[in-house]
Amino acid sequence: MEILLFSPEPVAIGTSVAKTQKTLEIPVDQQLLGKIITPLGSALYKTNPLPDFPESRPVEILPPGIDVREKIAEPMETGVSVVDMMVPLGMGQRALVIGDRKTGKTNFLLQTVLSQTERGTICVYAIIGKGISAIRHVEDFVAKNKLTEKVVIVAAKSTDSSGVIFLTPYTAMTVAEYFRDQGKNVLIILDDLSTHAKFYREISLLGKNFPGRNSYPGDIFYTHGRLIERAGNFKTKDGIFSITCLPVAETVEGDISGYIQTNLMSMTDGHIYFDKDLFAAGRRPAVNFFLSVTRVGRQTQNSVKSGISRELNNFLSLHEKTQSFVHFGAELSDAVRTTLEMGDKILEFFNQAPDETLPVNLQIMLFSLIWVGVWNNLSKDELRETIDKIIKAYKSSEVVKNTFADYLKNAVDFNALLGKVSTDSNKILEVIEAATMANTGDPNAGR
């Protein structure tokens, strides 16, 4: 018989062990919101213990069957324009976030948490076998943005036992299921499953299980599969509620063909790839939308959003080919120069501060104004200043929000929206200018 220890302390020979005839359970309650807990369901910091909760749930269950699942139909806004417009996600989707270390994955995940909590979603953030600094980073972000009433952090430190680290994502999923059953949409982040796989490999090798590819156990796919399948869009007694799952996988030197990475790709509904070369080139976030995939997110889009997505994909593919063509030293025609300039403006629009989220209505109207050529005469830096000014005006003025919402509400498709924006561009800019002057109190602001 083999026994998995949850304590980092060794057990002395001769210690008595007794079966409880029960599966491992953790206590769950609404009071978990704002707390940082261990995978065993206790408070991470002994100075802030949890009260006794009346309900407990097993950390491992069979994933729900197809009879209680619903089609993914609602979009999930991340607040990150390049993702929402190029790799859209749906509520209940499982989307892998993949890339090298230090390429901005955590910043993106925290932006998504910020965006979703503003819409009433409960967020469960699982930190799997990382240093205390990583835990503090997430904790500080939650406190700084006053998200404690909407977030639960399940954390296992790198110094914890392999058993506790292995348990982390299952505990987090159990917490997510509890809040789903309370009538809440839930976002769960599993950061990260490549580290989780390494600790499970360690447990399996110590248990003398026969090693397979890269010494990972043969059941590693099942181990992650039965976890990921617990997310989705579900029928509950209170209606339809979702668990959207964003597992994270780390790559080495941009290699997305690794064993664990490809396993996770095959069991999720798409992936968002963070490219180290784009990161080094200064793109923030460094999402490579050509190598990213969404399998169900597009079915949640309305006609305006799907039209934008289609237009952007076609144009940015042309922009990429044009850049390659220019590298050969070819002479630039007016058409090529126009394509390059518009592509550069769109990529500048996609650049976003790590602590900033953009509502989808704002994203669409900003892109439409760029696309109809309102700011063709602006340099890259001037465009950045203009975009930042509009973002501030939108977030501080109900008039701007309502104006943008009216344009989108009355547009039957993207072409209709473009026609209206092109005709009324001066009127739209006047509304933004008035909001900017009202915020600054300066009658000459923005002139």
What is the three-class DSSP state of 1?
Answer: coil
Side chain identity at residue 338, one-letter code: T
Task: Extract the tokens encoding 320.
Answer: 């990429």
What is the three-class DSSP state of 103?
Answer: coil
Q: What is the DSSP string of 114-157?
A: HHHHTTT-EEEEEEEEE-HHHHHHHHHHHHHTT-TTTEEEEEEE
To the query of whether residue 295 is one of the catalytic residues in this protein, the response is yes
Q: What is the DSSP string of 7-30?
A: SSSPPPTT------SS--EEEE-G
Q: What is the DSSP string of 60-97?
A: --PPP-GGGB----SEE--S-HHHHHHS-EETT-B-EE
Residue 203 belongs to what H/E stretch? helix 193-206
**Whole-angstrom Cα distance, residue 167 to residue 170?**
6
**Whole-angstrom Cα distance, residue 83 to residue 115?**
13
CA angle (253, 268, 4) in 5-degree steps? 80
Residue 388 belongs to what H/E stretch? helix 380-396
What is the three-class DSSP state of 305?
Answer: helix
**What is the length of the chain?**
447
Query: Other C-beta atoms within 10 Å of 1: how many?
Result: 3
The whole-angstrom distance between residue 368's C-alpha and the CA centroid of its chain comes to 24
- In the chain, what's the furthest Cα-to-Cα distance? 83
Task: Extract the tokens encoding 58.
Answer: 């097993």
Nearest by Cα to 115 from 84, 74, 92, 73: 84
Please identify which of the residues 57, 295, 298, 384 carries the catalytic annotation: 295
* 287 contacts: CB under 8 Å, gap ≥ 6: 80, 82, 83, 86, 87, 108, 272, 273, 274, 275, 278
Q: What is the DSSP string of 244-273?
A: EEEEEEE-BTTBTTSHHHHHHHHHSSEEEE
Residue 340 belongs to what H/E stretch? helix 334-350
**Whole-angstrom Cα distance, residue 371 to residue 367?**
6
Pairing of strands 232-236, 239-250: antiparallel
**Whole-angstrom Cα distance, residue 158 to residue 169?**
14
Residues forming the active site? 295
